[in-house]
Homo-oligomer: A and B are copies of this chain.
Amino acid sequence: MYQQRLECLSRQELEGLQLKRLRCVLAHIKEKNPTYHQRLGSPEPEDIGSLKDIQQFPFLTKDDLREAYPFGLACGHKDEFVRFHMSSGTTGTPVINPFTRTDVEQWSEIMARCLSAAGLTHRDILQITPGFGLFNGGFGFHYGAERIGCFVIPIGPGRTLMQLKFMKDFGTTALAGISSYPLRIIEVAREEGFDFRQTKLRVGIFGAEVWSDEMRTFIEKEMGIETFDIIGMTETGGVGLGIDCQDHSGIHVWEDHYLVEIIDPETGEVVPNGTEGEMVVTTLTREGLPLIRYRTRDITRVLSRSRCACGRTHLRIARIKGRTDDMLKVKGVNFYPRQIEEILMRHPEILPNYLITIGKVAGKDQVEVSVESSRLDESLKQRLEEEIYNFLGFHVEVKLLNRGELPRGPGKAVRVRFLEKTSG
Residues of A within 8 A of B (CB): 69-70, 78-79, 81-85, 98, 101, 104, 122-123, 125, 132-134, 138-139, 145-146, 149-156, 169-171
Contacts and interface: CB of A to CB of B under 8 A. Distances in A.
Given A70-B170, A170-B70, A81 B134 contact: no
A134 B155 contact: yes
A134 to B, nearest CB: 6
A304 B125 CA distance: 44
Nearest to A145: B82
Nearest to A136: B154
B156 A79 contact: no
Given A79-B122, A79-B123, A138 B133 contact: yes
A152 B122 contact: no
Contact of A78 (B101, B125, B146): B125
Interface centre among A69, A83, A104, A153 (most CB of B within 10 A): A83
A154 to B, nearest CB: 5
A149 B84 contact: no
B132 A101 contact: no
Contact of A82 (B69, B98, B149, B156): B149
A149 B102 CA distance: 12
Given A83-B146, A83-B152, A139-B154, 19 more contacts: A69-B169, A70-B169, A78-B125, A78-B170, A78-B171, A79-B122, A82-B146, A82-B150, A83-B151, A83-B153, A83-B154, A84-B151, A84-B152, A85-B154, A101-B149, A132-B132, A132-B138, A133-B154, A134-B155
Contacts of A134: 153-156
A51 B79 CA distance: 44
Contacts of A123: 79
A78 B171 CA distance: 10
Nearest to A153: B84
Contacts of A171: 78
A237 to B, nearest CB: 15
Nearest to A104: B146
A101 B152 CA distance: 11
A149 B100 CA distance: 9
11 contacts: A78-B151, A79-B151, A81-B151, A83-B153, A84-B151, A84-B152, A132-B138, A132-B139, A134-B153, A134-B155, A139-B154
Interface centre among A84, A98, A123 (most CB of B within 10 A): A84
A371 to B, nearest CB: 33
Contacts of A84: 151-153
Contacts of A169: 69-70
Contacts of A154: 83, 85, 132-134, 139
